[in-house]
Structure 1
Amino acid sequence: MIDLPAEPMLATPVETFALPLDWFAEPKWDGFRAFAARDAAGTTVLRSRTGSDLSPAFPEITEALQRLSCSVVFDGELVVWEESRLAFERLTQRLHRRGAAAQRAAAARPAHYVVFDLLHVDDQSLRQRPYVERRRELETLFRREGLGAPWTLCPSTGDAEVARGWLAWSVAGVEGCVFKNGGESYLPGARSWRKFRVRDTLEMIVGAVTGTPSRPASLLLGRLGSAGQLRYAGRTSALPGAQAQIMGGLLRTAEADHPWGGRSFSAGWGSQETLEVSLVVPGIVVEISADISRDARGRLRHPARFVRVRADMAVEDVPPFEAGRPAS
């Protein structure tokens, strides 16, 4: 019987990059968190952090688990690479595929499983062991089993300069770093780890708002495409009162010929909920801070933070919307 934690150990977001003494850093991957496990009888499990069974959608990972010679419980991240970049959208496209369709997807765009923790091996639980010991056992297992694709051993370092170098991997879809206390045991559900996300500072054009133009709750943002059309690029998180008041004094309700007239907007990436929005004249430029996560169309996957109004910039000064992601 496979003894999986009820939930994974989690991380608290931090605003500054800091690696304390006796802590370790790992890259933060843009994928799906999942437990991967095999018991001594060869039974396998691939389970998401919310409890969903991912095994039918990713047969290449299940088959790799079956080839192991020991019982294991891994904690890690499912990822898909496309053109040297992590392709989160390709991962989501595979979630509901089964049988022959899942096998075809695995052949066309195989998933990899990035292992960053070992919670059980050879019928022995490691959860109460400190991170440094679990890491040592994980590295030993990779060597002993000669593990290659679809397995990937997540890098780990206690050197802050090495970890800072990983932030440059953001161009490939690595989101930042996770910091882990080397002496801490594995605590399901606890937010004892820390995560630092790489963020971009971007200029965007305000095309619509939730709330009202005079009292906006959040801003819907865009950039001009190659043909000069305003393309939707994402939205901000909720505006604090002072920022909402500033924007309310600048925004004007749009006329009938707004480029976003008649379209609807999702409440979040992958959500079926539709936002209620008010269109505004797309003449105000704002600066935002956003993490690097983008969808296949280059739009922000997560709400951005409003930083300030760019009264010194005209709409034409904003960098264009490029294929893959908005330009910086």
Structure 2
Amino acid sequence: MDLPVMPPVKPMLAKSVAKIPPGMQYEAKWDGFRAIVHRDGDEVVIGSRTGKPLTRYFPELVTAVRDNLPPRCVIDGEIVVVHEGRLDFDRLGERIHPADSRVRLLAERTPASLIAFDILAVGDESLLPLRQSERRTVLEAALSAASPPVHLAPVTTDPAVAEEWFRRYEGAGLDGVVAKPLDLPYRPDTRVMYKIKHERTADCVLAGYRPHRSGPVVGSLLLGLYDAQGVLQHVGVCAAFSMRRREELVAELEPSRVGFAGHPWAAWADASAHEHGRLPGAPSRWSGKKDMSWVPLRPERVCEVAYDHMEGDRFRHTARFRRWRPDRAPDSCTYAQLEEVARYDLAEVLSAG
């Protein structure tokens, strides 16, 4: 491979802001795997956000890249899996599997798509110094004949349209809106774009915590919600505490500490239980050998957390701790409190591209 921009490349990043800023290029924020795609003839390398290769996990995209992208180019985009008209991150996560036979099977059962939203090089020319608006023009020309599973990401420069996308596209599984300054050159591994994400709150039951890797302090709080059958389900975690607060939480939560016997998640201490669901306390393909042990607590405390959106019955990302809710009874913390998002067909999102 001999391109003007060679792998690995860490993509340009975005920082969170509360509102959609004016005077920029706006795109939907896709909820998938960020990917930098290098193509030089038949050679294709798909790199992750960290620069690690993803190529072997998506053989169907290697074929699609050869069929749809210019012979020599570098594209920035998102790998997604679509199920029943919306993005499905759980099915996407299943694609990262060590067995080649499983990868090939899933490539047929849950094929991935590539959403292209920037271009870093074409032919012998590096496009990194070009303005965002200029790179978009090149990208549109490069993908003018592309067809699924390769898609050109829709964009607009109208803040009112961006606001409408922000409200409507969540129903298709999208994550918010990204704003890019029109004169912005491509700056790898730098937070120079802006992301605007949904934020909601929920009152959750605290049922345990994971120790922090640095020592006997709290790393993250394990959160639960009661389902319609009255069973406490693991819904996610909240973290991002200062080290001082992590130390304080150990003492603060000590009176609630219990053994596994009698705990709603007692069975999850058994490794075999993790074969049937995503439960706290076990390594995964993502965590590898990372210590995922956890400390059970009596489910008697309630905390309010902020979250962006759900993926099935769990928070898609780490929640943000807001405050304790001593006024709430744990058994009142159910899924019923969560906001229902109106569904929106992803095909309508992609057709705008």
With structure 2 as the length reference, what TM-score do the two structures score? 0.79
Residue 328 of structure 2 aligns with which residue? Answer: 313
Name the SS for the 2:170 alignment partner. helix
> Do the aligned partners of 2:82 and 2:88 also contact (CA within 8 Å) in 1?
yes
Matched, 1:327 2:338: yes
Cα deviations across residues 259-289 of structure 1 (Å, max 9, x unaligned)? 1235343488732433443322212222100
Cα deviations across residues 136-159 of structure 1 (Å, max 9, x unaligned)? 11112222xx21101111121222
Distance 2:253 2:55 in 1: 53
Residue 205 of structure 1 aligns with which residue? Answer: 205
Matched, 1:229 2:231: yes
Name the SS for the 2:116 alignment partner. strand
Residue 279 of structure 1 aligns with which residue? Answer: 296
RMSD: 3.0
Distance 1:228 1:108, change over 3 A: same
Distance 1:128 1:286, change over 3 A: same
Distance 1:11 1:188 in 2: 8
Amino acid at match of 1:164: E
Structure-to-structure mapping, 1:171-190, within 5 angstroms: 171-190=171-190
Answer 1 or 2: which has greater helix percent: 2
1:20 to 12, 16, 22: 22
Amino acid at match of 2:12: L
Residue 317 of structure 2 aligns with which residue? Answer: 302
Distance 2:22 2:297 in 1: 47
- Structure 2: stretches of 5+ with no match in the other structure: 270-279, 340-353
Distance 1:249 1:88, change over 3 A: closer
Amino acid at match of 1:153: L
> Do the aligned partners of 2:25 and 2:155 also contact (CA within 8 Å) in 1?
yes
- Cα shift at 1:59: 1.9
Residue 11 of structure 2 aligns with which residue? Answer: 9
Distance 1:42 1:252 in 2: 59
Distance 2:122 2:135 in 1: 10
> Do the aligned partners of 2:11 and 2:36 also contact (CA within 8 Å) in 1?
no
% identical aligned pairs: 31
Distance 1:245 1:111, change over 3 A: closer
More displaced 10-residue stretch of structure 1: 182-191 or 109-118: 182-191
Amino acid at match of 1:154: A
Amino acid at match of 1:195: K
Distance 1:175 1:268 in 2: 26
More displaced 10-residue stretch of structure 1: 243-252 or 41-50: 243-252
Name the SS for the 1:263 alignment partner. helix
Distance 2:211 2:96 in 1: 34
Cα deviations across residues 93-125 of structure 1 (Å, max 9, x unaligned)? 222366654443222211100000011223322
Report how many residues are paired: 316
Distance 1:99 1:267 in 2: 24
Amino acid at match of 1:306: F
Distance 1:125 1:172 in 2: 34
Residue 252 of structure 1 aligns with which residue? Answer: 256
Distance 1:251 1:163 in 2: 48
> Do the aligned partners of 1:10 and 1:189 also contact (CA within 8 Å) in 2?
yes
Distance 2:16 2:158 in 1: 18
Distance 1:238 1:101 in 2: 36
Residue 156 of structure 1 aligns with which residue? Answer: 155
Cα deviations across residues 176-210 of structure 1 (Å, max 9, x unaligned)? 12221111111122221122222221111111234
Amino acid at match of 1:157: T
Residue 138 of structure 2 aligns with which residue? Answer: 137
